[in-house]
Amino acid sequence: MIDALHSFLAVASAGSFSRVAKAQSVAVSSVTRKIDWLEAEIGARLFHRSPRRVMLTDAGEQFVQRARNILAELAEAKEAMTTVDAEPRGLLTVTAPSVFGRRHVAPAVASFLKRHPMLEVDLHVSDHVIDLAERRIDVAIRIGVLPDSDLIATPLAPLRLMACASPEYLARHGRPETPADLLKHHCITVASPPAPPPLWCFEGINRNQPLPVRGRVRTDDKDCILQAALAGLGIAHLASWLASQDLAAGRLVDLFPGVGSPASKIAPAIHAVRMAGRSHEAKARLFIAHLRDIIGTPPYWDRAADFPG
């Protein structure tokens, strides 16, 4: 099967049985037999054959990527078997949301690689939800409520949100006494409404639905929201993983420290997700365990200081 798949991909690329036979130093009949066997095995004709040229059929076009995936998975499985009980080695591909990735995943990758010098990591930071199978991603960090899927999810930390403002803003506009007072203030919001839940949701306020806050600044970038809040342009609803340092330093104030988001059976959180059955599964589990160890319980950003309210 493996030889037949290699020959199939070679013929698909070269468009010729004879060229492949010459490159492999075998008879043309040897290549032909492998293709004949493969077509019989899968029950479909893969090539249109003529004396002048060889072309993929529709079925052949569809089978090309499957053949590549089969061979890639086999190579990864072989690599995994040769490294059992040995120092982990090879490539691990990780994706994370941009700001969280820069602040928290990149340092964890650095310490992970120091601990495992035979490993390599491709770290992709993006706010787009990436298809793990299509991009062959081993570990993805997801923030929020996870949709139903076949992915294996490991919780890393709860998602704690706080309404925050700078002392400068509060000195100029006053401090809201309850979350409902946010409707009277400048709030820094996302540029593409509606805001993703649970932003601007507070227990017992507005029937636990998002408050229709408004403000002079709108942006889709979390770091820009933080910078606008620090500049005194309004009140922001920020995750503690983003705002902890500025809260601890007094550059931001948590306005409602005793008020949380509405209780839900499916609470938003920070997860590491991976696909089941991947040959890189052992390395993925190793990295996820490292992340959990680094983040801790409660997460280190929530242990940084007793935030002044």
Q: What are phi and psi of 265, to 5 degrees?
A: -65, -30
Q: How far apart are CA 140 and CA 119, in angstroms?
A: 18
Q: How far apart are CA 214 and CA 222, in angstroms?
A: 17
Instruction: Quote the tokens at residue 30.
Output: 């040897």
Residue span(s) of the chain under CATH 3.40.190.10 come to 90-159+267-300, 161-254
Lowest mean pLDDT among 35-39, 99-103, 132-136, 209-213: 132-136
- What percent of the chain shows pLDDT beyond 90? 50
Considering the entire predicted model, what is its pTM?
0.69
CB atoms within 10 A of CB 295: 19
Q: Answer yes or no: are the C-beta atoms of 155 and 271 closer than 8 Å.
A: yes
Fold classified for 2-82? Arc Repressor Mutant, subunit A (1.10.10)
CA angle 266, 272, 276 (to 5 degrees): 100
3-state SS class at 156: strand
* Residue 1: per-residue pLDDT: 78
Residue 172 reports pLDDT greater than 70: yes
Q: Answer yes or no: are the C-beta atoms of 123 and 96 closer than 8 Å.
A: yes
Confidence of residue 173 (pLDDT cuts 50, 70, 90): very high
The whole-number average pLDDT for the span 218-235 is: 95
Q: Answer yes or no: are the C-beta atoms of 9 and 36 closer than 8 Å.
A: no
Cβ burial of 8 (10 Å; 0-12, 13-18, 19+) is: buried
The whole-number average pLDDT for the span 77-93 is: 69
* Residue 162: per-residue pLDDT: 93
Give the chain's mean pLDDT.
87
Highest mean pLDDT among 134-148, 151-165, 192-206, 255-269 belongs to: 151-165
Lowest mean pLDDT among 81-85, 108-112, 167-171: 81-85
* Residue 263: per-residue pLDDT: 61
Q: How far apart are CA 141 and CA 102, in angstroms?
A: 12
Helix ranges (DSSP H) in the chain: 2-14, 17-24, 28-42, 58-82, 98-100, 106-115, 132-135, 167-173, 222-230, 240-248, 281-295, 300-303
Residue 193 reports pLDDT greater than 80: no
Residue 81 reports pLDDT greater than 70: no
Residue span(s) of the chain under CATH 1.10.10.10 come to 2-82
* Residue 194: per-residue pLDDT: 63
Instruction: Provide the β-strand partners of residue 53.
Output: none
Q: Answer yes or no: are the C-beta atoms of 17 and 26 closer than 8 Å.
A: no
Burial 85-94 (b: 16+ CB within 10 A, else e): eeebeeebbb
* Residue 61: per-residue pLDDT: 87
Q: Which of 106, 98, 160 is nearest to 307 (CA)?
A: 160
Q: How far apart are CA 197 and CA 269, in angstroms?
A: 12
Confidence of residue 304 (pLDDT cuts 50, 70, 90): low
CB atoms within 10 A of CB 281: 16
Whether the bond into 198 is cis, omega within 30 of 0: yes
What CATH number belongs to 90-159+267-300? 3.40.190.10
Instruction: Quote the tokens at residue 48.
Output: 């249109």
3-state SS class at 90: strand
The whole-number average pLDDT for the span 25-39 is: 90
Q: Which of 248, 198, 246, 255 is nearest to 225 (CA)?
A: 246
Q: How far apart are CA 284 and CA 282, in angstroms?
A: 5
Confidence of residue 6 (pLDDT cuts 50, 70, 90): confident
Residue 182 reports pLDDT greater than 90: yes
Fold classified for 161-254? D-Maltodextrin-Binding Protein; domain 2 (3.40.190)
What stretch of H or E contains 273?
Answer: strand 269-274
* Residue 142: per-residue pLDDT: 94
Amino acid letter, 256: F
